[in-house]
Amino acid sequence: MSTRLATGGRLLNKAKQVTFSFNGKQLTGYEGDTLASALLANDQMLMGRSFKYHRPRGVVASGAEEPNALVNLGAGGKFEPNQRATTTELYDGLSATSQNHWPSLEFDVGVVNNYAARALPAGFYYKTFMAPAAAWKHVFEPIVRHSAGLGKAPKDRDADRYEHYYAFFDVVIVGGGVAGLQAAKTAGLAGASVLLMEQTAFWGGRAPVDGGEIDGKATDDFIDATVTELEAMDNVTLRNRMMGAGVYDHGYLLGYERLTDHAPALAGPRHRLWRIRAKQIVTATGAIERPLSFAGNDIPGVMLASAVRDYVANFGVSAGDRTVVVTNNDDAYRTAIALKNAGLDVPVILDARATGGGALAEEAKALGIRVENGKAIAKVKGGKRVTGVAICAQAGEGSVLEDIACDAVAMSGGWSPVVHLWSHCGGKLNWNEKYAMFQPDPNRPPLSHDGNPFVVPAGSAAGAQTDTDYEGFSLFETLRTAHDAANKVCQALGLNVPDLKTPSVSEHDEVALEPVWLMPQGAGTKLRMKAWLDYQNDVKVSDVRLAAQEGYESVEHTKRYTTLGMATDQGKLSNINGLAVLSDALNQPIPATGTTTFRPPYTPISMGSIAGEARDEVFQPLRRTPIHDWHEANGAFFEPVGQWRRPYCFPRGSETHADAVKREINQTRNSVGLLDASTLGKIIVKGPDAGKFLDMMYTNMMSTLKPGKCRYGLVCNENGFLIDDGVVARIDEDTFLCHTTTGGAERIHGWMEDWLQCEWWDWQVFTANVTEQYAQIAIVGPNARNLIEKLGGDMDVSEEALPFMAWKDGKIGAFDARAYRISFSGELSYEIAVPASQGRAFWDVVMEFGKEFDIMPYGTEALHVMRAEKGFIMIGDETDGTVIPQDLNMQWAISKKKGDFLGKRAQLRDHMASPDRWKLAGFETLDGSVIPDGSYIVAEGKNANNQRNVQGRVTSTYYSPTLDRGIAMGLVHGGMNRLDDVVEFNKVDGGTVAARVVDPVFYDKDGEKQNV
Amino acid sequence: MLTLQCPYCGVWAEETELHAEGEAHLKRFGPESDDADFESYLFMRENPKGVHFERWRHASGCGKFFHAARSTTTLEVFGTYSAQTLEPPKDIKDKISAKYPGWSWREFS
């Protein structure tokens, strides 16, 4: 059984007991425990079920690389799935449940998959669900969906707060082990601004567990002294519980700080995402131990040797009473020695190397531990817990030599440097034959904007340097490379490197490992089918070999076919072993197979931290017109238009939106209505060449416009497609004011600037986007003039003084106003601009004086309906980025005199002149109903995809209160040549609705109402 | 996420502060041009692996359009320069030549 030892536990505060629950069971641990160590202390080795076969799984590792011990944490708004028990710090009241089982962890129905494992090989899904097509929807998909996913998706709103934090440093060091600390000290003394981050709660990494002495003192003392030294430096920032999540272009680095996960009662945000620009990055991210591939290596109780040792040293927890150690290197002997020294039994150390180990092996033997060289595990016995191992010769095919009873297995297949951050932004790797690992190639680092390297690996993360005679990941080399890395970044920063010596170290010499990718070497199919590579996704040696056999030679393809390394642990334990097996199957060296791509984040980060503060009202800025508050106070139903909110309508009492729109239209058509048009884009174009410039921007002639007059214009892009429209007013000889659509203001302003800055930079024109400088209010309807005259002021707004398509400055009431006689409704209409600061006051006055005309505001829906009744186009309805003005019968707005304008050349292309283009027409349903939005005009026959042929589509469709019937505009093959034809629009229910092709101007064809 | 220095206001801007505006040094073909030239102006782009010239706009800054010369593979930036020029400045071309002898991009080398 796994249990708490009487002694040990350097990270624990044994004075403080902590209560937590696992699957509803109340358990206790100590402050300083992780959830994994506390569960082990309570003999809860079984922590989850695997994804595909639902095999019972226990914890394998002690850190971020853990693939098995994933749990659901918390409840309600604090619920989060797939949390690693090994990186979850224990706190009072923590509540965890295990995942991927039904009805319980101990007894799981899905485990039938395990017994059917032979029928579920690599690529099972691809091979099985091919046909018949209908079976996918009704049979396969429901089954797959039911079994997909490990944890549950949260159902409630995230109750926590998250934030982003921007930071800038000369040097960021990722990893607070002895290498990171040493590098921080060197860089700190050189005067650089330094950030040192460590993903766990404590400093020093695994050096204190592994032993050795630095400068004649225990590693713990070196760590404490260095942290104290760093804390005293003003230019050094230390952050623990913060992971380097990803390295990106030009020194951009994401730091994921977990502020309250270990103590939810703390105030403040739960996670903080640091968005850092670093001039130089040191990756002191350490190394991860590899599992060995032998049959039954996933049975709960089989763990990484380093993890077994961590649990003893850090948490005073034993994984088992009798632990068999199996290894291909010297490091695992440390585990055997630690276990023995803790009073636990180590029946045997199986060393796959025929020649055995070095000094550590001698020490183990001296402690009385039996050591078997050249031996291996044939298979592990047990179901939900290890009960023993069968041992065999590594060189053979697995003939059992001896059975040994045990309740834990500590395995070590060697170590892989954590090269993720080095690789994220393009750092390349070399295969180190001697130590069987990929390591950073110092000659091919990630490059920054200046073409110089910006990432330097340090310590174990740098791998082994082949030009030195050290063996393995020695403490000395760790400190030496850290010091060198810091020197390198200081030089790159132009700082004087401090005169520091690498500390002296005393440690055991190690002899080299022997690569072992399969145990025993000649294991047959039966054993290979039980030798796991990827625990989380249930990928075995046999799966990778099958993939190779079926032609998946690229490691990237094999990964996707078998799902090797595609789980939430991203193959931290499995990838190297997997590609070694693939290389063996393909009969090629490992570097020829290569690695899959390392992608950020290093371990999953919370969605909340990615969003940061960007939720609810701060998700994006809201633009408000000067009259917005009035709309809000008067019950407006808003719709988003770009970043604005515009009133869609102003429902009264229990009125429906449709009724409100109808009322607003009838009032406007019969008396007077009011529209807040402040969101319309307003761009000043000024300068001696302004007219010439606008002649290029608009399809029609603007330079001939007289001051005091307005002209409607169309804007096209160089593809000839219509992108915006609006009324241009000439203010004086040199100045124009261009109205754009609400959504187009910034875009059209940018478009103008683009041509002025990059093409015609010698033209004398300035532009300014003054959209928000004015409140613009449209007073619309037959009583509009009567109302304005009642407001007083000095402006003559009579037909003679201010005719249709003219504008005028003056006083309306007490307000400085500019009145434009323009109409988007077909009614007598004045759009009146006043300074934004006076917008609300002006609106209030108009509402007050308008009472006798029953004045009411109208919203965007009434605006849309009224313009559609008049056959006016709307950018975004009648246009979709593929429509040219000619499609909309707007030849009248395209100058034939101008030699050039943007879009002119494109409109000359033969496709644009084709008589087959769909063109604008109006439509009236025969039964008076409203054509559904998005409807197509169907044609005879079907196309190659068995879809109904079409000959056009609706672009605007409304119920017209004025005509009391459905009206529509649309694009149809033949356009207005089809007048009086009856066509069929499809409906959502599968039927069609018949409509007659008519003139799109449904109301006041001669313009008698607006031009008065 | 790239950083580029705006040659107008001098700010080292994050990519999120900028707006990518496509390929640099396009020559506009207008109404008198033939179909081939116009097609090339509208649609044909370089998409190189390596040295590239782009237009950017300091959209959330000074608003200016500018040019950037950079490597699409190493992300090295050889320099940024005014949009009001018909070809890359000599010092930037020399810098590229030092790194990539014999490079060429459209009519420039």
**Domain range for B43:** 3-99
Q: B64 CB near a chain A CB, below 8 Å? A: yes
CA distance B63 to chain A (A): 8
Say if B106 falls within a structural domain: no
Q: Which residues of A845-882 are buried (b: 16+ CB within 10 A; e: fewer)?
A: bbeebbeebebbbbbbbbbbbbbbbbbbbbbebbbeee
At A464 the three-state DSSP class reads: coil
What is the model's pTM?
A: 0.91
CA distance B21 to chain A (A): 9
ipTM (interface predicted TM): 0.97
Please identify, among A413, A435, A458, the residue that sits at the C-terminal boundary of a domain.
Answer: A413
CA distance B2 to chain A (A): 6
CA distance A509 to A343: 25
Written as six digits, the tokens of A560 are: 């996707």
pLDDT of res. A143: 67
CA distance A985 to A717: 31
pLDDT tens, residue by residue, A674-718? 999 999 999 999 999 999 999 999 999 999 999 999 999 999 999
Picking from A250, A277, A767, A898 by the largest number of B CB atoms within 10 A of its own CB, the best residue to mutate is A250
Mean pLDDT score of chain B, rounded to an integer? Answer: 96
- In this prediction, residue A101 has a pLDDT band, given cuts at 50, 70 and 90, of confident
> Which residues neighbour A361 within 8 Å (Cβ) at sequence distance 6 or greater?
A330, A333, A349, A351, A371
Q: Is the pLDDT assigned to residue A51 strictly greater than 90?
A: no
% of chain A with per-residue pLDDT over 90: 85
From the list A719, A750, A759, which residue is nearest B42 (CB)?
A719
Mean pLDDT for A204-232 is 94
Q: Do A169 and A41 belong to one domain? A: no
How many domains does the structure of chain A reveal? 6
Q: B83 CB near a chain A CB, below 8 Å? A: yes
Mean pLDDT score of chain A, rounded to an integer? Answer: 93
Say if B63 falls within a structural domain: yes
Contacts by residues A976-979 (CB-CB < 8 Å, ≥ 24 positions apart): A976/A889, A976/A919, A976/A920, A976/A921, A978/A921, A979/A921
- Which H or E run includes A239? strand A236-239
Say if A154 falls within a structural domain: no
Mean pLDDT for B71-94 is 96
Q: A941 CB near a chain B CB, below 8 Å? A: no
Q: Is the pLDDT assigned to residue B94 strictly greater than 90?
A: yes
Residue A320's Cβ-side half-sphere holds a number of Cα atoms within 13 Å equal to: 29
Residue A129, classified by CB atoms within 10 Å of its CB into exposed (0-12), middle (13-18) or buried (19+), is middle
Say if A805 falls within a structural domain: yes
Cβ <8 Å between A750 and B57: yes
Q: B28 CB near a chain A CB, below 8 Å? A: yes
Strand partners, A540: A532
CA distance A410 to A289: 11
Q: Is the pLDDT assigned to residue A26 strictly greater than 60?
A: yes
pLDDT of res. A434: 85
Q: A908 CB near a chain B CB, below 8 Å? A: yes
**Which residue, chain included where needed, has tokens 């180590």?**
A346
Q: A614 CB near a chain B CB, below 8 Å? A: no
Q: Do A63 and A50 belong to one domain? A: yes
Give the β-pairing of A637-641 and A644-649.
Answer: antiparallel
CA distance B18 to B57: 6
Cβ <8 Å between A758 and B33: no
Q: Is the pLDDT assigned to residue A144 strictly greater than 70?
A: no
Say if B105 falls within a structural domain: no
Cβ <8 Å between B76 and A450: yes
pLDDT of res. A145: 65
Q: Is the pLDDT assigned to residue A899 strictly greater than 90?
A: yes
Say if A140 falls within a structural domain: no
Cα torsion through A237, A242, A246, A251, rounded to 10: -10
Q: Do A408 and A427 belong to one domain? A: no
Cβ <8 Å between B38 and A906: yes
pLDDT tens, residue by residue, A530-559? 999 999 988 999 999 999 999 998 999 999
Q: Which residues of A332-367 are buried (b: 16+ CB within 10 A; e: fewer)?
A: bbbbbbbbbebebebebbbbbbeebbbebbebbbee
Residue A549: name the closest of A592, A590, A584 by CA. A584
% of chain B with per-residue pLDDT over 70: 100
Q: A849 and A787 in contact (C-beta within 8 Å)?
A: yes
**Which residue, chain included where needed, has tokens 């330097």?**
A456
Say if B77 falls within a structural domain: yes
Q: A447 CB near a chain B CB, below 8 Å? A: yes
Q: Do A486 and A435 belong to one domain? A: yes
**Domain range for A374:** 291-413
Q: Which residues of A741-756 are buried (b: 16+ CB within 10 A; e: fewer)?
A: bbbbbbbbbbbbbebb
Written as six digits, the tokens of A165 are: 């934090």
Give the β-pairing of A194-197 and A162-174.
Answer: parallel
Cis-peptide, bond into residue A103, ω within 30° of zero: yes
Q: Is the pLDDT assigned to residue A212 strictly greater than 90?
A: no
Say if B107 falls within a structural domain: no
pLDDT of res. A57: 92
Q: A753 CB near a chain B CB, below 8 Å? A: yes
Q: Is the pLDDT assigned to residue A131 strictly greater than 80?
A: no
Cα distances from B87 to residues A449, B33, B81, B92, B97, in angstroms, run 22, 22, 10, 10, 15
Q: A70 and A82 in contact (C-beta within 8 Å)?
A: yes
CA distance A853 to A832: 18
Written as six digits, the tokens of A519 are: 């145990």
- Pick A473 or A338 by higher pLDDT: A338
Please identify, among A452, A471, A506, the residue that sits at the C-terminal boundary of a domain.
Answer: A506
- Pick A464 or A78 by higher pLDDT: A78
Mean pLDDT for A202-223 is 93
Q: Do A397 and A455 belong to one domain? A: no
Q: What residue of A is the nearest CA neighbor of B74?
A: A447
Tally the residues of chain A: 1012
CA distance A96 to A77: 14
Q: Do A427 and A326 belong to one domain? A: no
Strand partners, A272: A163, A257
Q: A748 and A662 in contact (C-beta within 8 Å)?
A: no
Mean pLDDT for A208-233 is 94
pLDDT tens, residue by residue, A911-932? 999 999 999 999 999 999 999 9
Say if B108 falls within a structural domain: no
Residue B63, classified by CB atoms within 10 Å of its CB into exposed (0-12), middle (13-18) or buried (19+), is middle
Helix axes A359-366, A332-341, angle to 10 degrees: 20
- In this prediction, residue A49 has a pLDDT band, given cuts at 50, 70 and 90, of confident
CA distance A249 to A247: 7
DSSP E strands in A679-773: the ranges are: 681-686, 710-716, 722-732, 735-740, 766-769
Residues in B closer than 8 angstroms to A426, CB to CB, are 74-75
Q: Do A815 and A672 belong to one domain? A: yes
Q: A10 and A314 in contact (C-beta within 8 Å)?
A: yes
Q: A247 and A253 in contact (C-beta within 8 Å)?
A: yes
How many domains does the structure of chain B reveal? 1
Q: Do A709 and A729 belong to one domain? A: yes
Q: What residue of B is the nearest CA neighbor of A762?
A: B84
Q: A755 CB near a chain B CB, below 8 Å? A: no
From the list B31, B63, B84, which residue is nearest A905 (CB)?
B31
Written as six digits, the tokens of A422 are: 């080095």
Strand partners, A72: A97
CB pairs under 8 A between A and B: 70
pLDDT tens, residue by residue, A608-625? 999 999 998 889 889 999
Q: A791 and A855 in contact (C-beta within 8 Å)?
A: no
CA distance A107 to A97: 15
Say if A739 falls within a structural domain: yes
- In this prediction, residue A133 has a pLDDT band, given cuts at 50, 70 and 90, of low
Residues in A closer than 8 angstroms to B77, CB to CB, are 449-450
Say if B14 falls within a structural domain: yes
Q: What angle do CA A461, A574, A407 make, to 5 degrees?
A: 105
Cβ <8 Å between B84 and A248: no
- What's the CATH number where A408 sits? 3.50.50.60
pLDDT of res. A466: 55
Q: Is the pLDDT assigned to residue A106 strictly greater than 80?
A: no
Give the β-pairing of A302-304 and A408-412.
Answer: parallel
- What's the CATH number where B69 sits? 3.30.2270.10
Residue A259: name the closest of A267, A248, A250 by CA. A267
Mean pLDDT for B1-10 is 96
Say if A515 falls within a structural domain: no
CA distance A838 to A807: 20
Mean pLDDT for A509-521 is 91
Q: Do A743 and A852 belong to one domain? A: yes
Say if A221 falls within a structural domain: yes
HEC letters along A786-808: HHHHHHCCCCCCCCCCCCCCEEE
Q: B74 CB near a chain A CB, below 8 Å? A: yes
Say if A403 falls within a structural domain: yes
Q: Do A101 and A175 belong to one domain? A: no
Number of C-beta neighbours around residue A258 at 10 A: 21
pLDDT of res. A719: 96
Q: Do A273 and A302 belong to one domain? A: no
Give the β-pairing of A287-289 and A415-417.
Answer: antiparallel
**Which residue, chain included where needed, has tokens 């350490």?**
A286
From the list A252, A451, A757, which residue is nearest B65 (CB)?
A757
Q: A244 and A421 in contact (C-beta within 8 Å)?
A: yes
CA distance A449 to A540: 43
Q: Do A569 and A713 belong to one domain? A: no
Say if B37 falls within a structural domain: yes
Q: Is the pLDDT assigned to residue B45 strictly greater than 70?
A: yes
